[in-house]
Amino acid sequence: MKKYELVIFDVDGTLLDTTEGVLSAVKYTIAQFDFAPLSDAQLCRFIGPPIQNSFADAYGLKGDILQDIATVFRNEYKEHTLLQARPYDGIYDVFAGLRERKVKTAIATYKREDYALTLLKYFHFDSYTEIMHGADHENRLKKSDIIKLCIHESGVSDLSQVLMVGDTDNDAQGAHALGVDFLAVSFGFGYQKGEKPDQYPCIAVADTTQEILQRIDEVC
């Protein structure tokens, strides 16, 4: 019997390289609020986590201004830079391979859900799965909540047969909170090649998209 009935994917740094679009909107927001410029390394930390958290960490901010910042960022991102992204080479083959193995797939992202659906449909991920969930407008949902929505919609009841695939500790933490296995990828924005999460369990690391299926097959 195969181990996994459902494999859930993160978006930024896992399915799509969204660097160009996200960082263009971040730089625009920084300029609008007259904040000090950030280094490339600092800017890359904005890809993946909730935008309020990233600005809070980068500039030591708190309070209502973070929601104002998020509004400016999201308007710029939605209207001008959302589709400035590219699928990682071979990622569609992963979905096709899981379909051949009769494994369900889903997508769970911290992106606001309406933006995420626009982006995922533009790049035809809806051809592989109808289960796609993102953040709410107020960022009240944690990553574990978004993963849970995917699991519920899939109809899979045994959490030991669910796998989360992602590139950051946010993904690992969300999986761990639910007791779901986690597979790290190192070709995105978080983990480096061969690196595993320090704080959370991880079944394996995939350094390329091709290795995702290999790692899944190894544990099945």
Kindly report the average pLDDT of the chain as a whole number: 93
- Amino acid 55: pLDDT: 97
Burial 94-124 (b: 16+ CB within 10 A, else e): bbebbeeeebbbbbbbbbbbebbbebbeebe
- Amino acid 8: pLDDT: 98
Q: How far apart are CA 136 and CA 114, in angstroms?
A: 9
- pLDDT above 80: residue 119: yes
- Amino acid 2: pLDDT: 59
Domain ranges of the chain: 6-17+86-219, 19-81
Q: What is the mean pLDDT of residues 23-27?
A: 97
Q: How far apart are CA 111 and CA 20, in angstroms?
A: 15
What would the pLDDT profile of 127-172 be if each residue is shown by its tens digit?
999 999 998 877 789 999 999 999 999 999 999 999 999 999 999 9
- Amino acid 137: pLDDT: 77
Most confident of 47-51, 85-89, 135-139, 216-220: 85-89
What would the pLDDT profile of 60-115 be if each residue is shown by its tens digit?
999 999 999 999 998 999 999 999 999 999 999 999 999 999 999 999 998 889 99
Domain 19-81: top CATH class: mainly alpha
Angle (CA) 92 94 96, round 5°: 70
Q: How far apart are CA 184 and CA 187, in angstroms?
A: 9
- Amino acid 190: pLDDT: 84
Asked if 6 and 156 count as a contact pair (C-beta separation under 8 A), the reply is yes
Confidence of residue 1 (pLDDT cuts 50, 70, 90): very low
| CATH architecture for the domain at 6-17+86-219 | 3-Layer(aba) Sandwich (3.40)
